[in-house]
Amino acid sequence: MKIVSSEMKNVLPKTHLNILNVATDLSNQMDTDLYLVGGCVRDIMMGLNNSNFDIDLTGSNVDKTFATRLADKLGGTVKNSSVFGTHKLSVPVGIKDNLEIDLAKCRSETYKNPGELPDVKPGDLFQDLGRRDFSIAAMCIVLQSPSNQDWKSGQLIDPHSGYRDVVNKELRVLHNESFADDPTRMFRLIRYSCRLGFDIEESTKNIFESSLNYVTAVSGDRIRSELEKIFDEEDVALILYNCVKLGLLPAFLTKFDCNHLMELKSISHLHRDDQDSVEFWLGILAMNAGKSQIEYLSKILSLSSKQNDVINDLASLNEQIKQNESFLLSDDLRQSDIYKFLLKYRLTSIRVCAETTPNKAIKALLEIYLNSLINTNIELSGEDLISLGISKGPEIGKLLNDLLYAKLDGHLKSADQETQFVKDYISVHKDIN
Ligand code: ATP
């Protein structure tokens, strides 16, 4: 018997331990067994300190009432409940953070056809652990033992030898049909192997190779959702490299050339900004795509309109750069010219292009825009222009732009110089009128 209470205390933040205590007390009152499951258990067993632990709880009688009462006790809310008996809670931790807690009744799953969603039925703990993707994700920690077992609080239940695989740093599926049942697990396999630095166990590798063709049976929505999880990881380039190298992405995107993703691994740290990481990486995927390839990607991955906009915008930026290359590389190109040229494109597209263009001069120009030009602001406001004598209307906007262009080109260094610029403008235009 392995009791891991001290590992839990070493790894989990106090907030999490407190939540587990409250949930355990509730399970006692409501007469249900309760277990900590999922990636959190894996990370505890690996001794990984990661402040973003998800909390995943399961138990035989963890139902809507349990979810609502736990949310009340923790001052949170039940965000949603699914037909499969799962509940997502949002619980405040600290002043402005919220933590998500996933609650589910223990269940069993059976798959009729590859790639389809499973039939889900209530099940026992062992069936619940047996439906999971990898042995390291099929362990749980007892918070409240069922009455027919003599399990201790903090005891590790590990029917698939997940802890051995944690120690050996290996990812192993629980049975030969695992990837046929749910081919999205192949994306998860590569994602975890890169994130955790784990090898893929030998027979899992063989099952992976012989299951590649099942991936075409999965809906675009589900594959896109796996890709979005990949785009949220620390080392996206490495994961994409392996998705291509192991044949997974080409097996799904049969009419799309993914080979450029093999080149990215050598780029040490690609741009990462949580705000637009999904669109950024979709842009990387589509960086060389022409119109028909973009349509293909959009359809096969059921991209959202925002995602579509980014890859179309990127294609048009690439095209315009190609068409205007000699202008962009001319000696007398001004900063304001760069600004005007790029202003109509999305920052995400410009970032993708800056990371991937083989042309160093174009790259430099895009970086000037991203790192400096877009952060340039003039001192005067529209109100200031009005008080200097410009009438309300479109002329204000035009003059504000002219001021900005002059500042970008280095002609204006202070508010006084900007004021003088406006006065000169007024006197020229007074003369003309
Ligand atoms: P992390 O959040 O660190 O990525 P996690 O393991 O908690 O890891 P989730 O996607 O939140 O990842 O899944 C929670 C648990 O649900 C997993 O640990 C795994 O046991 C199970 N699971 C998730 N997706 C699948 C799947 N496609 N097939 C089988 N089990 C799955």
d(CA 362, CA 329): 7
CATH number at residue 246: 1.10.110.30
Handedness of CA 360, 365, 367, 368 (dihedral sign): positive
Within this chain, do residues 26 and 156 fall inside the same structural domain, yes or no? yes
Backbone angles phi, psi at 225, to 5 degrees: -65, -35
Q: How far is the CA of 236 from the centre of ligand 1 (A)?
A: 18
Atom 4 in ligand 1: residue holding the nearest Cα? 39
Q: What is the pLDDT of residue 214?
A: 97
Within this chain, do residues 256 and 303 fall inside the same structural domain, yes or no? no
Q: What is the pLDDT of residue 275?
A: 67
Each as own residue / partner, the long-range contacts of residues 356-363 (CB below 8 Å, 24 or more positions apart, any chain) are 356/284, 356/287, 357/321, 359/325, 361/329, 362/321, 362/325, 362/328, 362/329
Within this chain, do residues 137 and 18 fall inside the same structural domain, yes or no? yes
> Among 117, 137, 167, where does a domain finish?
167
* Residue in the block written with tokens 């995107």: 253
Within this chain, do residues 186 and 254 fall inside the same structural domain, yes or no? yes
Within this chain, do residues 30 and 158 fall inside the same structural domain, yes or no? yes
Closest CA to 317 of 344, 294, 339, 340: 344
Atom of ligand 1 nearest to the CA of 191: 4
d(CA 402, CA 129): 65
Q: How far is the CA of 200 from the centre of ligand 1 (A)?
A: 17
Within this chain, do residues 163 and 20 fall inside the same structural domain, yes or no? yes
**Which of 188, 219, 235 to probe ligand 1 with, by most ligand atoms within 8 A of CB?**
188
Backbone angles phi, psi at 79, to 5 degrees: -75, -45
> Is 335 contained in some domain?
yes
CA 347 from centroid of its chain's CA atoms:
18
> Among 327, 348, 371, where does a domain finish?
371
> Is 362 contained in some domain?
yes
SS3 428: helix
Within this chain, do residues 12 and 38 fall inside the same structural domain, yes or no? yes
Q: What is the pLDDT of residue 271?
A: 53
Atom of ligand 1 nearest to the CA of 188: 27
d(CA 41, CA 153): 14
Q: How far is the CA of 109 from the centre of ligand 1 (A)?
A: 14
> Is 96 contained in some domain?
yes
Q: How far is the CA of 368 from the centre of ligand 1 (A)?
A: 42
Count CA atoms within 13 Å of residue 300 on its CB side: 19
Within this chain, do residues 358 and 281 fall inside the same structural domain, yes or no? yes
Q: What is the pLDDT of residue 373?
A: 97
CATH number at residue 142: 3.30.460.10
- pLDDT by 10-residue block (mean), the chain, 433 residues: 94 94 96 95 91 89 95 95 91 86 95 88 95 98 95 97 98 97 97 97 98 96 96 92 97 94 68 74 92 95 94 96 95 96 95 92 96 96 92 91 96 94 87 52
DSSP characters over 200-224 = EPHHHHHHHHHHGGGGGGS-HHHHH
Q: How far is the CA of 391 from the centre of ligand 1 (A)?
A: 62
d(CA 243, CA 191): 9
Atom of ligand 1 nearest to the CA of 40: 7
DSSP characters over 24-67 = HHHHHHTT--EEEETHHHHHHHHT---TT--EEEEETT--HHHH
How many domains would you assign to the chain? 4
> Is 376 contained in some domain?
no
Closest CA to 54 of 112, 15, 107: 15
Atom of ligand 1 nearest to the CA of 184: 27
Beta-bridge partners for 58: 35, 104
Angle ∠(61,65,71) on CA atoms, nearest 5: 110
Q: How far is the CA of 306 from the centre of ligand 1 (A)?
A: 27
Within this chain, do residues 99 and 196 fall inside the same structural domain, yes or no? no
Q: Which amino acid is at 289?
A: A
Q: How far is the CA of 44 from the centre of ligand 1 (A)?
A: 15
CA 352 from centroid of its chain's CA atoms:
16
Closest CA to 84 of 62, 101, 99: 62
> Is 353 contained in some domain?
yes
Q: What is the pTM of this model?
A: 0.91
> Is 191 contained in some domain?
yes
> Among 167, 196, 224, where does a domain finish?
167
Within this chain, do residues 140 and 12 fall inside the same structural domain, yes or no? yes
Which contiguous run of DSSP H or E holds residue 142? strand 140-144
What is the span of the domain harbouring residue 65?
Answer: 5-167
d(CA 61, CA 356): 52
> Is 377 contained in some domain?
no
Q: What is the pLDDT of residue 185?
A: 98
What residues flank ligand 1, with Cβ below 6 Å? Answer: 38-39, 54, 56, 132-133, 137, 182, 184-185
Atom 2 in ligand 1: residue holding the nearest Cα? 39
> Is 145 contained in some domain?
yes
Q: What is the pLDDT of residue 96?
A: 76
Atom 30 in ligand 1: residue holding the nearest Cα? 132
Within this chain, do residues 9 and 149 fall inside the same structural domain, yes or no? yes
Within this chain, do residues 133 and 222 fall inside the same structural domain, yes or no? no
Atom 13 in ligand 1: residue holding the nearest Cα? 38
Backbone angles phi, psi at 345, to 5 degrees: -100, 155
Beta-bridge partners for 144: 34
